Chains A and B, each alone.
Chain A
Amino acid sequence: MIGLTQPWALALLPLAALPLFLRWLRASAVPRLDLRPVDGASRAVDHGLKALGILGLGALVLGLAQPYLRGGSVVHRGIGTNLVLLIDRSSSMDDTFAGRSPSGAEESKASAARRILMDFIAGRPDDRIGIAAFSTAPMLVLPMTESRSAIASAVSALAEPGLSQTDVGRGLTLAMGMAAQEAATGARAVVLVSDGAAVISPEVQVMLRNLAAQQPMNLYWLYLRSKGSKGIFEQPQPGEADTPQLRPERHLHIFLQSLRLPYHAFEADSPGAVEAAVAEIGRMESRPILTRRPVPRRELGWLCYLIAALAAAGLTAARALERPWAEARVKPLLVLP
């Protein structure tokens, strides 16, 4: 759809008809033009010069009106998913995989996760992504969007130091709610990135089960395991206590398995393992998806001015090639012997 910034300029458009009444080249008097032969090339040049004049003036006037193509969005069929990234912002995420504060070239779990997620997002242009974070309380960082710059900014913003608590249950509620509310077509997935878990209260568990029952979605947990901590797949030793308070990660894993959703858990104890896990998630979440891509407003004035300039160049060339029918070299009236 074309719009005009200065529509009043179109009032000058009748000027484009001037070449129909005014000639561009200087006239050369030739008697009985109707009795002289006309060739096709001359006829074409005749009409062409008129057309160039009309086109040039018309394009100039249109350029003054500053036309533009309205922006918007177009439906795009790509490969990806509706993805909600739920990122743990607890203070332990600021430690390294070795469980200490990063020093020198060492990378914290949070920064490694950010870097790897940034690469992951950059390699998946068709995903619609939303971001949520949780620590003491869940936070909606970015609603579902296709804007890559907004997503990258939101991931970068997670570099701020985290808080002490890990309210994973309410974080999951928020993320699954975001994924469930997303009206777009295509698959849905929630990726939980955390280095720990906490006890999920019974009422939150009910909410999560309800959400899982309402809207099917894929659930991934990328567990960033610190050195010395228990793995989520590790079975307790005989006689070892196995309660949610002592082994919250293992019990969260069991709970997520019980939601009857497609669920995959990855345990990563190094940045390389995180990359491998994220790549695996990417492979599994490559399905056809219809997304909308934003189309920015495009100015068309330059195109009008370019057309006007080309027309003017053509007319200038015509003037350069102009010549009279006969050179004015009038001989004397009377020649005497």
Chain B
Amino acid sequence: MSFDAPLDAAGLHLFDVLAWRLARALPGLRSGGHLGRMRGAGEIFADVAPLLAHPDPRRLDLRRSISDPFGTLSTRRFQARTDLRLHLLLDGSASLAASGSADRWGLMRLLAAGFAQAARRGQDLCAASLCCGAGIAHQEPPSRRPGLAQELLATLSGLHPQGRGIDALLAATAELPTERILVVLVSDFELTPAELQQILTALRPRPVLPIWLRDRALEQPAPRFGLIDAQDPETGRRRTQLAARRWAARQAAAATAARAALRAVFSEHGLRPVEIADSIEVAELAARLDEAPL
């Protein structure tokens, strides 16, 4: 079953299933859904501490206290749960406007709203930066307010992909905190390996979830004979192409090689992008998020 008009508030509940789990414990006192470094009330046992150091007689460890030869009373400590800031770093450069079998700008808007919805459900703060080439077109401050997903959807619907380059992405990255943050980098990754390297290096040491919006028709043009006047939406440069079977095979091979080169860069940074080709399958997206090395 396909859902062709999900860009309304009613469709966003589908993203409630999205969840992210970081490998490392986070500092912080605010309660949330992620494992914290702090000890406190929680479900996951952490360690045992002297009652004097951790005066919580409700969690007195009777077995350990009785068996202690020095009669020291011990209490059990549990890992506290804390929240984090989910920062949506959206690459809205003009290349996103190119469309074959996917509306990648629509995918980006839907994902942004969906992640905002899931963040609220997971008690996380959600922030967003829409980077269009050299400038940041829209910035959403961290918030947990209800209706943020719908607002984000409406705001992004009034904007269009524009600009070229990665300057805005780098600028937005520089302003991000390094602790208690998960950066969701949503992009079509129409980048050179060097540019991607630059972005990922700038995002270190923050945990990053790259989401790769792919358009299969652009990657594999049809082998039908004809003339194509291709225009780069970022630079405006145009070039006529003589399309034929061999040409299409060459383009597909080049696209495959380019993707492999970008994946290698992700691997260098210990990342594995979640690739969305043409359409979003929420269940599959949730499964990929679960597997993502964060």
CB distance from B107 to the nearest CB of A (A): 6
Q: Does A1 contact B (CB under 8 A)?
A: no
Q: Does A32 contact B (CB under 8 A)?
A: yes
User: Per-residue 0/1 for A18-35: is the Cβ within 8 Å of any B Cβ (1 yes, 0 no)?
Assistant: 000001111111111111
Residue of A nearest to B224 (CB): A323
User: Could you name 14 residue pairs across A and B whose Cβ atoms are closer than 8 Å?
Assistant: A23-B238, A25-B227, A28-B229, A31-B95, A36-B255, A42-B241, A42-B247, A323-B222, A326-B217, A330-B103, A333-B3, A335-B3, A336-B1, A336-B3
> Please, which residues of chain A bring their CB within 8 A of the CB of B215?
326
Is the pair B4, A332 in contact by a Cβ cutoff of 8 Å?
A: yes
List which B218-238 residues lie within 8 A (CB) of chain A.
Answer: 218, 221-222, 224-235, 237-238
Is the pair A37, B254 in contact by a Cβ cutoff of 8 Å?
A: yes
Q: Identify B101's interface contact among A41, A321, A326, A336, CB under 8 A.
A: A326
Given known contacts A25-B240, A29-B97, A36 and B254 CB-to-CB distance under 8 angstroms: yes
Q: Identify A46's interface contact among B110, B240, B279, CB under 8 A.
A: B240
Q: Does B190 contact A (CB under 8 A)?
A: yes
Residue of A nearest to B255 (CB): A36
Is the pair A329, B2 in contact by a Cβ cutoff of 8 Å?
A: no
Is the pair B106, A333 in contact by a Cβ cutoff of 8 Å?
A: yes
Q: Does A183 contact B (CB under 8 A)?
A: no
Name the interface size band of chain B: 35 or more
Bound Cα distance A41, B227 (Å)? 11
CB distance from B192 to the nearest CB of A (A): 7
Given known contacts A42-B239, A329-B217, A337-B1, A28 and B230 CB-to-CB distance under 8 angstroms: yes
Bound Cα distance A35, B257 (Å)? 11
Q: Identify A32's interface contact among B3, B95, B229, B282, CB under 8 A.
A: B95
Q: Does B242 contact A (CB under 8 A)?
A: yes
Is the pair B237, A33 in contact by a Cβ cutoff of 8 Å?
A: yes
Known: A326-B217, A334-B14. 5 other contacts (CB 8 A): A25-B227, A28-B231, A42-B239, A333-B103, A333-B107
> Please, which residues of chain B bring their CB within 8 A of the CB of A234?
none
Which chain B residues have a beta carbon within 8 Å of chain A's beta carbons?
1-4, 6-7, 11, 14, 95-103, 106-107, 110, 188, 190-192, 215, 217-218, 221-222, 224-235, 237-243, 247, 250-251, 254-255, 258, 278-283
> Please, which residues of chain B bring their CB within 8 A of the CB of A329?
100-101, 217
Bound Cα distance A334, B1 (Å)? 9
Residue of A nearest to B11 (CB): A334
Is the pair A30, B240 in contact by a Cβ cutoff of 8 Å?
A: no
> Please, which residues of chain B bring their CB within 8 A of the CB of A336?
1-3, 14, 281-282
Name the interface size band of chain A: 35 or more
Is the pair B231, A29 in contact by a Cβ cutoff of 8 Å?
A: yes
Bound Cα distance A24, B238 (Å)? 11
Bound Cα distance A323, B217 (Å)? 14
Is the pair A327, B100 in contact by a Cβ cutoff of 8 Å?
A: yes
CB distance from A65 to the nearest CB of B (A): 31
Is the pair B235, A34 in contact by a Cβ cutoff of 8 Å?
A: yes
Q: Does A49 contact B (CB under 8 A)?
A: yes
CB distance from A136 to the nearest CB of B (A): 83
Question: Count of A-B contacts with CB under 8 A?
Answer: 167
Is the pair A45, B227 in contact by a Cβ cutoff of 8 Å?
A: yes
CB distance from B130 to the nearest CB of A (A): 18
Given known contacts A336-B2, A336-B14, A336-B282, A321 and B218 CB-to-CB distance under 8 angstroms: no
Is the pair B4, A39 in contact by a Cβ cutoff of 8 Å?
A: no
> Please, which residues of chain A bring their CB within 8 A of the CB of B230?
27-30, 33, 36, 325
Is the pair B240, A45 in contact by a Cβ cutoff of 8 Å?
A: yes
Q: Does A318 contact B (CB under 8 A)?
A: yes
Q: Identify B3's interface contact among A29, A330, A334, CB under 8 A.
A: A334
For the complex of A and B, 6 pairs with smallest distance between CB atoms: A326-B100, A31-B95, A323-B226, A326-B217, A25-B229, A27-B231
Residue of A nearest to B225 (CB): A321
CB distance from B277 to the nearest CB of A (A): 9
CB distance from A126 to the nearest CB of B (A): 55
CB distance from A279 to the nearest CB of B (A): 67
> Please, which residues of chain B bring their CB within 8 A of the CB of A31?
95-96, 98, 188, 190, 218, 232-234
Q: Does A74 contact B (CB under 8 A)?
A: no
Given known contacts A31-B95, A33-B239, A337 and B283 CB-to-CB distance under 8 angstroms: yes
User: Per-residue 0/1 for A294-337: is the Cβ within 8 Å of any B Cβ (1 yes, 0 no)?
Assistant: 00000000000000000000000010011111111111111111
Bound Cα distance A36, B235 (Å)? 14
CB distance from A337 to the nearest CB of B (A): 6
> Please, which residues of chain A bring their CB within 8 A of the CB of B242?
39, 41-42, 45
Q: Which of A31, A41, A336 has most chain B Cβ within 10 Å?
A: A31
Bound Cα distance A336, B11 (Å)? 11
Bound Cα distance A334, B13 (Å)? 13
Residue of B nearest to A336 (CB): B1
CB distance from A29 to the nearest CB of B (A): 4
Q: Does A11 contact B (CB under 8 A)?
A: no
Is the pair B227, A37 in contact by a Cβ cutoff of 8 Å?
A: no
Q: Does A157 contact B (CB under 8 A)?
A: no
Is the pair A333, B224 in contact by a Cβ cutoff of 8 Å?
A: no
